[in-house]
């Protein structure tokens, strides 16, 4: 499975990294592999929260409107 | 380090470079004439300007997340490399991650992630994520390294990702899923617990959480497989960087320390050795003794859940509550972090094996004694544990205490006390010299007596000693 994830990763240009600590090649590669997946989950989470707060606001407005 | 710990009388213009401040070429911390400064090197000048101009520094310091500093005109320690000299606000006491309970380490991890998220939104990023950059003040974590920020470039999501996982996530997972005492492993692995070791020690069910599985298991596999490759620069968007922080936050908050009920954390409530009256009387006497001692740092050795640390905190600027039992410190920390302002710093330290000097050349991380001396030490109902539990002779106990403090408030628990009898129940009594007389004689070798009070309803005695300044031992007169 991990090999599949490696293949799914984009080809990255090689550069020297100006970090004073060793970030670890494996750690950087894992970040690159999971970056897209986590960003998708994060986007869904943000939109879900926006939708929920929007629905909540609508519900409150509906509840707060005077009864006829 | 930004601490008054280990402060010695130095010549007015002598420069002492702080031993822990050598890794980052951006600058270092030094002390001149007793005042702590941080030199910012030329190489960090652009990032320093960005930190200030972006408003990130002001934002973080206003929230109490980052230590405050002022730019000063003091001469730098190394003129050739210097860009600026700043004077950070000093903390009363420096603690280390291997002395923290689970919730302290978890709060430190969450603060690091909050700072990283704030930095990313202002175009910067944390270039390191070591737990040693976090300290505790007023019951809350605070980041103490002003030079940990750099412009977020087009590199991978976070260069300090591995460091964060090793310093925070791995020990937290081990503490939550195996035993909270495994936090002490951070003293063996100062750059964080290696992920392969962590994954070997964790049970399989610990990985039944998507974010934990990614950052521990998958991360470990990645480290093993991509060991010999050259460094890779993956272009990451802001969204990917924020997503990584959010995922790490989920992994950290998914970990819970549930068991807070050790024998010692229940000791105060189930203590058979005190009646309510005697306990109130003891609290009142200790309070009086603390009030009569000089102001300054106070160490409460064997603090349990911190009843007397609280009394001390009402008199002092900073009380360091020390106990070897994780759950006592966890209980105390959970209580004090709810309070708006507290001056108690709870730490897990075994007084029979206190934190030693660690790291490069044995000077990078200070021993407990190097972080002293304390103005006052409280050692209440602990002498019998040292003597009967660890076979420590009374003169050795007194010598150790004399090296820690100028003022000592100590409770002597005699051999006939029920708690002493409990300790001696299953072993041979090889302590013929354990008596009030021998105790007083041993103490008077180093201290002079200020006051002693017999606790009503027991044979225990509370003493207030002051460190002797080259005079002969005095006779003990006890106030009944």
Chain B residues close to A42, C-beta within 8 Å: 239, 242-243, 246-247
The residue-averaged pLDDT of B273-295 equals 86
How far apart (Å, rounded) are the C-alpha atoms in residues B347 and B323? 7
Q: What is the pLDDT of residues B7-56, one digit of tens each?
A: 444 455 688 888 888 888 999 999 998 899 999 999 999 999 999 999 99
Q: What is the pLDDT of residues B440-466, one digit of tens each?
A: 999 999 999 999 999 988 889 999 999
Mean of the per-residue pLDDT values for chain B?
90
Strand, helix or coil for residue B457: coil
Number of C-beta neighbours around residue B416 at 10 A: 9
Chain B residues close to A7, C-beta within 8 Å: none
Nearest CA distance, B197 vs chain A (angstrom): 16
How far apart (Å, rounded) are the C-alpha atoms in residues B425 and B443? 27
* Model confidence band, residue B166 (pLDDT cutoffs 50, 70, 90): very high
B284 touches B259 (CB < 8 A): no
Cβ <8 Å between B231 and A17: yes
Any idea what DSSP says for residue B277? H
Residue B476 burial (C-beta neighbours within 10 Å; 0-12, 13-18, 19+): middle
pLDDT at B276 over 90: no
Largest CA distance in chain B: 76
ipTM of the complex: 0.76
Cβ <8 Å between A27 and B237: no
The pair of three-digit structure tokens given for residue B458, joined into one six-digit string = 């027991």
Cβ <8 Å between A42 and B236: no
Q: What is the pLDDT of residues B373-432, one digit of tens each?
A: 999 999 999 999 999 999 999 999 999 999 999 999 999 999 999 899 989 988 888 889
**Residue B262 CB partners (closer than 8 Å, separation 6+):** B325, B326, B327, B328
Question: Can you spell out the DSSP letters for B330-370?
Answer: HHHHHHHTTSSS--EEEEE--TTSPPPPBSGGGTSB--TGG
* Model confidence band, residue B112 (pLDDT cutoffs 50, 70, 90): very high
Predicted TM-score (pTM) of this structure: 0.89
Question: Can you spell out the DSSP letters for B291-340?
Answer: HHSPSSEEEEET-TT-HHHHHHHTT-SEEEEEES-HHHHHHHHHHHTTSS
Cβ <8 Å between A2 and B159: no
Measured CA angle at B413 (ends B434, B273), to 5 deg: 140
């Amino acid at each position: 499975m991990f090999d599949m994830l490696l293949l799914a990763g984009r080809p990255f240009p090689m550069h020297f990294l100006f970090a004073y600590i060793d970030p670890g090649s494996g750690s950087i590669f894992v970040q690159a592999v999971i970056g897209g997946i986590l960003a998708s989950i994060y986007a869904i989470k943000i939109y879900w929260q926006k939708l929920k707060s929007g629905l909540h606001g609508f519900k409150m407005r509906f509840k707060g409107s005077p009864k006829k | 380090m930004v601490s008054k710990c280990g402060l010695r009388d130095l010549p007015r213009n002598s420069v002492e470079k702080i031993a822990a401040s050598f890794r980052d070429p951006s600058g270092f911390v030094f002390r001149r004439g007793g005042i702590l400064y941080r030199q910012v090197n030329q190489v960090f000048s652009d990032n320093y300007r960005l930190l200030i101009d972006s408003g990130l520094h002001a934002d973080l310091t206003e929230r109490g997340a980052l230590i405050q500093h002022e730019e000063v005109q003091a001469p730098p320690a190394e003129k050739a490399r210097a860009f600026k000299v700043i004077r950070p606000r000093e903390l009363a006491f420096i603690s280390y991650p291997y002395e923290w309970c689970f919730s302290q380490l978890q709060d430190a991890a969450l603060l690091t992630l909050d700072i990283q998220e704030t930095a990313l939104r202002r175009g910067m990023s944390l270039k390191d994520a070591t737990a040693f950059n976090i300290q505790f003040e007023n019951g809350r974590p605070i980041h103490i390294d002003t030079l940990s920020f750099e412009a977020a470039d087009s590199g991978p999501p976070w260069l300090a990702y591995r460091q964060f996982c090793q310093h925070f996530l791995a020990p937290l997972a081990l503490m939550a899923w195996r035993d909270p005492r495994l936090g002490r492993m951070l003293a063996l692995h100062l750059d964080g617990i290696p992920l392969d070791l962590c994954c070997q020690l964790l049970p399989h069910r610990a990985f039944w959480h998507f974010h934990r599985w990614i950052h521990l298991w998958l991360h470990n596999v990645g480290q093993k497989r991509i060991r010999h490759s050259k460094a890779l620069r993956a272009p990451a968007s802001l969204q990917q960087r924020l997503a990584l922080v959010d995922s790490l936050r989920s992994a950290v908050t998914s970990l819970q320390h549930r068991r807070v009920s050790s024998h010692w954390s229940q000791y105060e409530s189930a203590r058979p050795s005190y009646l309510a009256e005697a306990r109130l009387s003891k609290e009142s006497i200790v309070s009086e003794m603390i009030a009569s001692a000089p102001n300054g740092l106070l160490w409460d050795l064997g603090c349990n859940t911190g009843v007397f640390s609280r009394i001390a905190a009402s008199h002092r600027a900073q009380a360091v509550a020390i106990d070897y039992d994780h759950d006592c410190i966890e209980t105390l920390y959970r209580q004090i972090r709810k309070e708006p302002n507290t001056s108690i710093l709870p730490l897990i330290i075994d007084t029979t094996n206190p934190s030693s000097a660690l790291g490069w050349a044995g000077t990078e991380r200070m021993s407990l004694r190097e972080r002293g001396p304390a103005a006052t030490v409280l050692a209440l109902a602990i002498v019998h544990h040292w003597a009967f539990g660890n076979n420590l002779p009374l003169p050795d106990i007194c010598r150790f205490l004399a090296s820690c403090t100028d003022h000592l408030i100590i409770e002597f628990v005699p051999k006939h006390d029920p708690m002493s009898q409990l300790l001696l129940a299953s072993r041979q009594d090889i302590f013929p010299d354990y008596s009030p007389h021998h105790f007083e004689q041993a103490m008077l070798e180093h201290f002079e007596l200020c006051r002693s009070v017999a606790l009503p309803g027991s044979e225990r005695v509370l003493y207030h000693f002051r460190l002797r300044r080259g005079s002969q031992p005095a006779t003990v007169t006890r106030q009944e």
